[in-house]
Amino acid sequence: MLTKLLTCMTALLVAALVIPPTATAAGAPSDPARAELRGIVENVTGATGKRYGAHDDAGHTMDTVKIIQDTTGGYLAVSHHMASDGHFRVNLATSTDLLNWHWVRELAGSNTGAASQPTIAQASNGGFVMAWEQENPGGGNNHLAFRYFASKADLLAGRVGKSFDAARRLSTCAEGTPNIYKITLSPDIEHSTIDVGGHYYWNCDRDRQQRGTLKNFNSWTNSAQSDYDNALLYWGVGGNIGDRDQVSFRGYSFGLIEGQYTKGDFGSWRTFVYDYQTGNADKTAIHTDAGSTAFANPTVTALRAPNGQNAILVTLFIPSEGAGPGESGELIYYRTVS
């Protein structure tokens, strides 16, 4: 009887533990590439170019910025800043060197409620899909919003070609922080499949991962992604698991994902490298010039540096609670690679 009781208690304890992601096989093909990417992410001090506390030339902070290559030359970026009314606004900016940015226009947030955490990707037809976390004008109802711009000229002018706001399906409180994995046109935006990552506010208590599909720019389905969550829970993350971005590097797919070790503690935000091949995540030890320790809202982009070389560009938000002197706010840095 005692043996049976102990067996039952052991089973309950095991069930209560976070199950780690599938262990990476020794010598997994993606290991060297993941290690190289992690090294790029960690080595801010040795970056080819970097900018702490990024602002555009109109004085807006460029928080949670997503930067992409402008196929006609230079670079495009979407970011948010907090306006004087206390609400977030989404801005568009351009650059020729990745570090100095010219403000073009506001794209969301002025009359429609706070807009934050934007991302952008270019489709094969030259159009652009932008997504962000949208609130109601009176606050609340955080959800994913999508806009399509048919050309660069339309994007710069703020002319929206198609709009879609996704109803929340996984949380009654909030869904947001999008990234765009892939845009497939068959052959146009009216016949398209857009693969999107995001978070949902699990039990209205903590952010957890979701992935969704925007079909033909008029229908939305999404589901929880426990594998992503488990990869960070394995390392003891106890707070939010939120923003993420994805990049193809050395022929493999990797992501950067933020995890908050302690709920409510902005100084406990860390960034992890996620391996889509193995389902595992690596902790990072990011080294900045002044020794910042907290890193949130990561993005990662493969592009060509201003000198024409291939490069990996990373952006991170450094909360003041974990910032070294002069380093709080948005960090942009890149490393050229052969």
The predicted model gives 79-86 an average pLDDT of 94
The predicted model gives 26-33 an average pLDDT of 89
Full-model pTM: 0.92
List 296's β-bridge partners, or say none. 317
The predicted model gives 35-45 an average pLDDT of 98
Please report the pLDDT score of residue 26 as a whole number: 59
CA distance 60 to 231: 35
Please report the pLDDT score of residue 111 as a whole number: 76
CA distance 15 to 209: 21
**How many other C-beta atoms lie within 10 A of the C-beta of residue 214?**
25
Tokens of 259: 């995890």
**Residue 284, phi then psi, degrees to nearest 5:** -120, 150
Average pLDDT, whole number, for the chain?
93
Q: C-alpha angle 204/142/296, rounded to 5°?
A: 75
CB proximity list for 134: less than 8 A, separation 6 or greater:
108, 112, 113, 114, 115, 142, 143, 144, 145, 165, 176
The predicted model gives 153-160 an average pLDDT of 98
CA distance 187 to 213: 17
Q: What percent of the chain has pLDDT over 90?
A: 88
CA atoms within 13 A on the CB side of 150: 6
Helix/strand/coil for 195:
strand
The predicted model gives 101-108 an average pLDDT of 98
CA distance 264 to 259: 12
Share in percent of the chain as helix, strand, coil (round to 5): 15, 45, 40
CB proximity list for 156: less than 8 A, separation 6 or greater:
92, 104, 105
